[in-house]
Amino acid sequence: MTGLAWVLLAGFAVVSALDWVAVARRPEGQLLETVCKPAALGLLVLTALALDPEDGGQRVWFVAGLVLSLAGDVFLLPAVDRFVAGLASFLLAHLAYVAGLAVDPGSSLGGLLVGAVVVAAVGVVLGRRVVSAAARQDRAMVGPVMAYIAAISAMVVAAVATGDPPAIAGAALFYASDALIALTRFERPRPWAPRAIMVTYHLGQLGLVSSLTG
- Look at 160 and 106; give whichever has higher pLDDT: 160
Number of folded domains that form the chain: 1
Convert 32-77 into a string of H (helix), E (strand) and C (coil): HHHHHHHHHHHHHHHHHHHCCCCCHHHHHHHHHHHHHHHHHHHHCC
Residue 202 falls within a domain, yes or no?
yes
Work out the angle between the directed axes of helices 56-75 and 193-210 (0-180°, nearest 10): 160
For residue 4, report the phi and psi dihedrals to the nearest 5 degrees.
Answer: -65, -40
Given a cut of 80, is residue 157 above it in pLDDT?
A: yes
| CA–CA gap between residue 100 and residue 83 (Å, rounded) | 26
E-assigned strand segments in 96-188: none
pLDDT average, residue stretch 197-205: 98
Residue 174 in domain? yes
pLDDT at residue 155 in the model: 98
Burial class (CB in 10 A: 0-12, 13-18, 19+), 103: middle
Sequence length of the chain is 214
Q: Alpha-carbon distance 157 to 170, whole Å?
A: 12
Q: Is residue 158 part of a domain?
A: yes
pTM of the prediction? Answer: 0.94
Mean model confidence pLDDT for the chain: 94
Q: Per-residue pLDDT for 62 more than 80?
A: yes
In a domain, 38, yes or no: no
Q: Which of these ranges, 5-19, 128-142, 162-176, has the smallest mean pLDDT?
A: 128-142
Residue 132 covered by a domain: yes
Inform me whether the pLDDT recorded for 2 exceeds 90: no
Q: What is the mean pLDDT of residues 95-122?
A: 95
> Is 23 inside a domain boundary?
no
pLDDT band for position 54 (50/70/90)? Answer: confident
In a domain, 97, yes or no: yes
- Higher pLDDT pick, 78 / 53: 78
User: Does residue 7 form part of some domain?
Assistant: no
Compute CA 88 distance to the chain's CA centroid, rounded to the nearest angstrom.
Answer: 13
Span 34-42, average pLDDT: 97
214 pLDDT above the threshold of 80: no
Domain that holds residue 154: 57-72+81-213
| Res. 176: pLDDT tops 90 | yes
For position 110, what pLDDT does the model report?
A: 94
**Averaged over 7-31, what is the pLDDT?**
95
